[in-house]
Amino acid sequence: MSQLPQVVQQGGVVDSIHMMMSRLDSPAMLIYGFLLILVIVYSPVIPTEARVFADSFLGRVFGVAIVYGITETLGWVYGLLTALAFLLILNGAPRYGNPLMEGFREEPMEPYSKTDEEKARGPVKEGFTAGGAVTAKNVVTHNRRWFVEEVLGECPTAIESDRVTTQAVQD
Amino acid sequence: MLSYQLEMRTPEWPSFLSFHGNVDGVSRAVLVLLIALLIVNYSTLFEEEYTRKLIDLYRYPWWRVLLVLLVISSVMWCPRVGILVTLVMFFYLSDMNTLLTPMTDL
């Protein structure tokens, strides 16, 4: 009984798969790339503590060192993705020095000062949910308060919306 | 000697600026130009708004995954295009993230 010659299938999809498998990075690099994709995609849900650490001096030094190390070891494609992820983490860090951290100042700007009633009432919570509509152009830079703000003891530092949409009266 | 003189007569662009004259090279150059114009447009005009579709799509994770895959594929195709696409993606993702962040957390 003659044995049939062993035939290795060639061509078609097999070659493409072999070529793709041979060109794939190592599993560790692929896992790292997958984690990077997750970090970039879900960057809005990264905890604030991690962002604050990334925004500190130590965090920035670590971040730059990690980006440089990844670029040198895994290649510039992974380095670019790492830099993108690090910048997205850094960008969302709260700025504690920003006066817009609260919707209202606890203390009015000079030359105004809180009355005894306002002091007894305590700090005023922000009266609006920003929802992202407030931009830098809505920041209140003058010291004059409106009458209603003085009555309510509010010291607004930003305006949620400065546009009013009106419609004609219709029967 | 003759080859040296020929090389001197036909100076070439630096490698990172050279685009081949075929369809691939031309499309790379066109994309680089378009993306550069897009970056200049969004970085120089104050309050340049994103389209409504881009704002609505940001909420979906699969859209952001597609954006990252776009970055990876563009980087693997052409480094110049990839870097510019990454820059555009960073601006878009950071702007959308800021837009959706409550003002009290800024």
Average model confidence (pLDDT) across chain B: 79
Q: How much is the pLDDT for A128? A: 46
Collapsing DSSP to helix, strand or coil, B23 comes out as helix
* Res B2: pLDDT: 52
Extents of the domains making up chain B = 19-105
| Mutate which: A40, A89, A98, A140, vs B, most B CBs within 10 A | A40
CB-based contact, B68 to chain A, within 8 Å: yes
Tell me the ipTM for this assembly.
0.72
Nearest CA to CA, how far is B10 from chain A (Å)?
32
CA angle (A145 as vertex; A153, A114 as ends), nearest 5: 40
Q: How far apart are CA A26 and CA B80, in angstroms?
A: 25
Query: What pLDDT does B84 receive?
Result: 92
pLDDT recorded at residue A63? 93
* pLDDT for the residue B78: 86
Q: Give pLDDT, residue A127.
A: 46
pTM over 0.90: no
* B75 reaches A (C-beta below 8 A): yes
Cβ-contact B50, B38 below 8 angstroms: no
Residue B72 in contact with partner chain A when CB distance is under 8 A: yes
Summarised one tens digit per residue, pLDDT across range B25-68 is 888 888 999 999 988 887 776 666 788 888 888 888 899 999 99
Out of B61, B97, B106, name the one closest to residue A94 (CB): B106
What pLDDT does residue A12 have? Answer: 67
**What's the confidence (pLDDT) of residue A10?**
62
Gap between the Cα atoms of A73 and A48, Å rounded: 29
Residues of chain A with pLDDT under 50: 98-103, 126-134
Q: Tens of pLDDT along A98-118?
A: 444 444 555 555 556 666 766
| pLDDT value, residue B65 | 92
Contact: B106, A88; criterion CB under 8 Å: no
Which of A23, A52, A77 to mutate to probe the B interface, most B CBs <10 Å?
A77
